[in-house]
Amino acid sequence: MSIKNIFLKGTALVALSLLLISCQNIQQEPVSNSKPDVSVPEALYTKCTEPRSAMCTREYRPVCATKDTGVRCVPTPCPSTELVTKSNACTACADTKVFGYILGACTN
């Protein structure tokens, strides 16, 4: 094998590795807790505040929470949040990946 072939194979291997790494699910801190990707009327949206509760009641008053998915795509934009129904506001904000919520269960 010539040095040129070894160099080309090495370069291709590095490029392929970078491509595979760029769109995998990476555990990160939420990008921002101020603006979720989904469109929610600002007047109805309640942002979670710090410190977050460690204990919540078990009442069922569903909320639709905006949760960080942890997905970050480099080449093309992709949603980094999703809407999930939580049993109540306390339970929603106890999850550190939740930015905020609106009252009522999510509609899909």
pLDDT tens digits along 57-88 = 999 999 999 998 888 887 877 888 889 999 99
Give the amino acid at 83.
L
pLDDT of residue 25: 42
How many angstroms separate the CA atoms of 21 and 24, rounded?
6
> Which pTM value belongs to this model?
0.60
How many angstroms separate the CA atoms of 92 and 22, rounded?
30
pLDDT at position 37 over 60: no
pLDDT of residue 102: 93
Q: In what order do the strands lie in the sheet with 98-103?
A: 46-47, 98-103, 63-68, 81-86
Pick the residue with more confidence: 12 or 49? 49
